[in-house]
Amino acid sequence: MKNQLQALIMFDRIKPFLAVIFLQFGFAGMDVLCKAALNKGMSNYVLVVYRHVVATLVIAPFAVILDKKVRPKMTLSIFTKLIMLSLLEPVIDQNLYFLGMKYTTATFAAAMTNILPALTFLMACILRLETVRFKSIRTQAKVIGTIATVAGAMIITLVKGPVIELIWTKGRTYHEQQQGETNLQHSIKGAIMISIGCFGWACFMILQAITLRTYPAELSLTAWICLLGSMEGAVVALVMERGNTAIWSINWDVKLLAALYSGIICSGLAYYIQGVVMKDRGPVFVTAFSPLCMVIVAVMGSIILAEQMYLGRVLGAIIIVAGLYLVVWVNTGKENFNHEVVTIDVSAGETNRQQEEQRNSVTV
């Protein structure tokens, strides 16, 4: 019984970490699929609309049934926040992110998103969602860990170094540069678009954390964001793609797969999981793991596609792991303290109960 209780406590501690790691695997798959769909000629505006239509259809039934007892009454203030949330991430961030990916590559876009933890941490400190005490060791560790994850991801992107021969890549050659490699002008355009999109994503994270205080129904919040995002995105798509009705056609190909995958995993599940973890750990914890996506892409590319592994990527991955370890240590330390308090309270309660039983038996 004691071992089962310890196992449950341990699982409860690691659930947030498993959740955010799952998100990074999901985002890595989205980058590959969506880049393939964009290369096939799919409009980024249409992709965003289809993505959130799929997410709404998947999440809404669960929200209606499971959030029936916890869903608060809708107010003008809450609805205004919902409109802003659906504008910041589904419309501004995703359209600029996919547009920047069109100008560059999926790897470049994934690398640029590594500024997200720093942006979110800075904004959370300004809005006092994160308590910063620079004399505290845990605060210093969180700051250093966040900087390290961003720095490590940048090293993966910018520093190559010598090739590391692996068993599954030995003897195989690949052209590192793609045909029609993007020029400097396109790279600058893509970087600016993705950076603005990341700023919108960071604002979304902060506003989502604030909204959950007055609207603590994660499924319903997700459904509203996806529904309003698909409506707002449709207006943007109709304006930007006016006169081009053929762009809305979709077949049984990678375009449909990208819309389904990104809608279910990266919009529906991602918004919900972010909300659940954010209520407990805050927005900085969720975004601190985003550079891990670059490591996942590098590893998957090496194993599945037998791409060459470079020393710079390995060093960057080590720095990211070290930075994430600091973030994990900070949050685990808080959990350990909480569980110690609970254990003391339970033990004290058990002792009082035994003393009461002894007194009763003496009286009898």
Per residue in 26-84, pLDDT (tens digit) is 988 888 888 888 888 899 999 999 999 999 999 999 999 988 888 999 999 999 999 99
Angle 311-363/292-304 helices, nearest 10 degrees? 120
Q: Looking at the predicted structure, is the pLDDT value of residue 288 above 60?
A: yes
What pLDDT, on the 0 to 100 scale, is given for residue 166? 63
pLDDT of residue 315: 82
Structure tokens at 49: 């609309």
pLDDT band, residue 351 (cuts 50/70/90): very low
pLDDT in tens, 243-283: 888 889 888 888 999 999 999 998 888 888 888 888 777 77
Q: pLDDT digits over 177-201, tens only? A: 444 344 667 777 888 898 899 889 8
Q: Which tokens belong to 245?
A: 């009705």
Quote the CA–CA distance of 159 and 163 in Å, as a whole number: 12
With 0.75 as the threshold, say if the pTM is over it.
Answer: no
Closest to 320 measured CA to CA, from 349, 289, 341, 347: 289
Start-to-end CA distance of the chain, whole Å, equals: 32
pLDDT tens per residue, range 195-249: 899 889 889 988 998 899 999 898 999 999 999 999 999 999 999 988 888 889 8
